[in-house]
Amino acid sequence: MYDSISDLRHPALQPLLPPVTINIPNPQAQNVAVVLVNWNNWRDTVECIDSLLAQDHRNLHIFVVDNGSSDGSVERIQEWCAKPRAYPGWREFPSVLRHTAQPNPAPAICRVADQPAQALPQAPVGCRISLIHSGGNLGFAGGCNVGIRAAGTQAFGFFWMLNNDTVVERGALDAMLRRALRDAGTGMVGSTVRYYDAPQEVQTLGGARLDAVHGISRHIGQGVAVDHLNADPVAVERKMDYVFGASLLVSSAFVREIGPMQEDYFLYFEEIDWALRGRGRFSLGYAPDSHVFHKSGASATKNRPLFTSGFYYRNRIRFMSRFFPDRLPATRRRLAAEILFYLAKRQWAHARLVASVVWNAHDIARQTPQNASDPSRATPA
């Protein structure tokens, strides 16, 4: 008997052992659906599309889900596809190719559809973009689910959930696919996400760690200078509790087995919920060579607008009640401390908002469907 694989490498055994070939699927052969959710932000969306059209990976189709925009987004995106052009204010990155950088950029053939009940028919030859009316503002999770449904898990092996306020390096997708295909059990893969307006600074390496006592997450590597970046991907993956939703590659196998995103969050916590539902069945990966530039400013994450703060704090209670209900008292105590933080900064509206969430925490928890996710799959961090 042999005690380990290393025993099989003994020189005396080599003539007896046939060569071992590990067949890893070719990343370029994978069909990938890129899903962008747009809401009154067509200018950022077309810049993202511009970088996607210049990706090294050719077997991709872009599904833009418009969440009931009132700024003419659908028409403006169609106009841009008919005559692609760069806009003032777009930053130049040495590693980012743009479709519009060509002398005479070809039109990007685009089809338009209403929200489908099932996967759309295969796109006509040459069509690389499907622009879908969602019928209303369904939030980030709802919009992503529309895109996944329109693409279909049979036609596409992977879905790249990408924030529409990003631009991507030319090899970003292939780097993620190489990591995903290395291990059949990998369900989600994240990128090295950098700030668009501070490109030498990291926003996150792949994803974040979750404080499962208070419902707080911390991005891995946030604030690290890219020039000093020497992260071990394996070490990053050990820390990751979820993949950051700004750039999230998910396999069709994960979607079929775990299901789509949970839509009752609307905004915030949906990707954390998704990852925890898959624990024990799928692993998370990090592709360090996949670089994405995100327009979320370094200060924006610290000064969350009041409107979005409402979703954040209510969903924090909703998430904890779904996965860690026994820790809700600790979460409420932490929220009480955050009220004091806002009071000290004289941010009265935020203080009142958090106080309201603390006061109504039991009602929020009681109204959260517990069968939408499987708490038994979640292992406390």
Distance CA 354, CA 312 (A): 10
Q: Is the pLDDT of residue 28 over 90?
A: no
Q: What is the DSSP string of 181-231?
A: HH-TTEEEEEEEEEESSSTTBEEEESEEEEETTTTEEEETTTT-BGGG---
* CA distances (Å), origin 22, targets 10, 19, 25, 285: 20, 10, 10, 19
Q: Evaluate whether residue 242 is within a structural domain.
A: yes
Q: Evaluate whether residue 198 is within a structural domain.
A: yes
CB atoms under 10 Å from CB of 350, counted, come to 22
Q: What is the pLDDT of residues 147-193, one digit of tens each?
A: 999 999 999 999 999 999 999 999 999 999 999 999 999 999 999 99
Residue 208 confidence (pLDDT): 97
Residues 113 and 190 in one domain: yes
Q: Evaluate whether residue 177 is within a structural domain.
A: yes
The least confident of 2-11, 96-105, 219-228 is 2-11
Domain containing 53 — which CATH number? Answer: 3.90.550.60
Last residue of a domain, one of 234, 266, 294: 294
Residues 226 and 87 in one domain: yes
Question: Backbone phi, then psi, for 127, in 5-degree steps?
Answer: -80, 125
Residues 271 and 322 in one domain: no
The closest alpha carbon to 249, from 282, 201, 203, 212, belongs to 282
Q: Evaluate whether residue 18 is within a structural domain.
A: no
Q: What's this model's pTM, rounded to 2 decimal places?
A: 0.89
Residue 222: exposed, middle, or buried by beta-carbon count in 10 A (0-12, 13-18, 19+)?
Answer: middle
Residues 360 and 255 in one domain: no
Last residue of a domain, one of 232, 259, 294: 294
Residues 352 and 253 in one domain: no
Question: Backbone phi, then psi, for 321, in 5-degree steps?
Answer: -70, -30
Residues 141 and 287 in one domain: yes
Res. 51 pLDDT band, cuts 50 70 90 = very high
* CA distances (Å), origin 237, targets 160, 234, 283: 19, 5, 9
Residue 299 confidence (pLDDT): 34
Residues 248 and 323 in one domain: no
Q: Is the pLDDT of residue 24 over 80?
A: no
Q: Spell out the SS3 assignment of 121-132.
A: CCCCCCCCEEEE
Residues 176 and 271 in one domain: yes
Going by C-beta distance under 8 Å and a sequence separation of 6 or more, which residues neighbour residue 306? 349, 350, 353
Say if CB 189 and CB 176 are below 8 A apart: yes
If you average pLDDT over residues 345-368, what whole number do you get? 91
Provide the number of structural domains found in the chain: 2
The closest alpha carbon to 359, from 314, 304, 309, belongs to 314
If you average pLDDT over residues 350-358, what whole number do you get? 93
Going by C-beta distance under 8 Å and a sequence separation of 6 or more, which residues neighbour residue 22? none
Tell me the residue range of the domain where 315 lies: 306-377
Rounded to the nearest 10 degrees, the angle between the axes of helix 348-359 and helix 328-344 is 160
Q: Evaluate whether residue 117 is within a structural domain.
A: yes
* CA distances (Å), origin 160, targets 6, 31, 95, 256, 261: 38, 11, 20, 15, 13
Q: Evaluate whether residue 357 is within a structural domain.
A: yes
Average pLDDT across the chain, whole number = 89
Q: Evaluate whether residue 56 is within a structural domain.
A: yes
The closest alpha carbon to 234, from 290, 194, 181, 286, belongs to 286
Angle formed at CA 136 by CA 261 and CA 317, multiple of 5 degrees? 45
Last residue of a domain, one of 232, 266, 294: 294
Residues 363 and 229 in one domain: no
CB atoms under 10 Å from CB of 300, counted, come to 13
Residue 34 confidence (pLDDT): 98
Q: Who wins on pLDDT, 15 or 149?
A: 149
Q: What is the DSSP string of 61-116?
A: EEEEEE-S-SS-HHHHHHHHHHS----TTPPP-TT---GGGSSSPPP--EEEEEPP
Q: Is the pLDDT of residue 55 over 70?
A: yes
The three-class DSSP label of residue 291 is strand
Instruction: Please give the DSSP secondary-structure letter assigned to residue 15.
Output: G
Residues 153 and 133 in one domain: yes
Residue 306 confidence (pLDDT): 83
Distance CA 34, CA 195 (A): 21
Q: What is the DSSP string of 306-320?
A: HHHHHHHHHHHHHHH
Residue 304 confidence (pLDDT): 64
Half-sphere exposure of 226 (CA within 13 A, CB side): 16
If you average pLDDT over residues 257-263, what whole number do you get? 95
Evaluate the CA torsion angle 291, 293, 299, 303 in order and state its sign: negative
Residues 128 and 159 in one domain: yes
Residues 218 and 262 in one domain: yes
The least confident of 69-78, 183-192, 356-365 is 356-365
Say if CB 118 and CB 149 are below 8 A apart: yes
Q: What is the pLDDT of residues 293-346, one digit of tens each?
A: 999 843 344 456 788 888 999 999 999 999 999 999 999 999 999 999 999 999
For residue 293, list its beta bridge partners: 167, 194
Q: What is the pLDDT of residues 211-243, one digit of tens each?
A: 999 999 999 999 999 988 888 999 999 999 999
Q: Evaluate whether residue 7 is within a structural domain.
A: no
Residue 370 confidence (pLDDT): 66
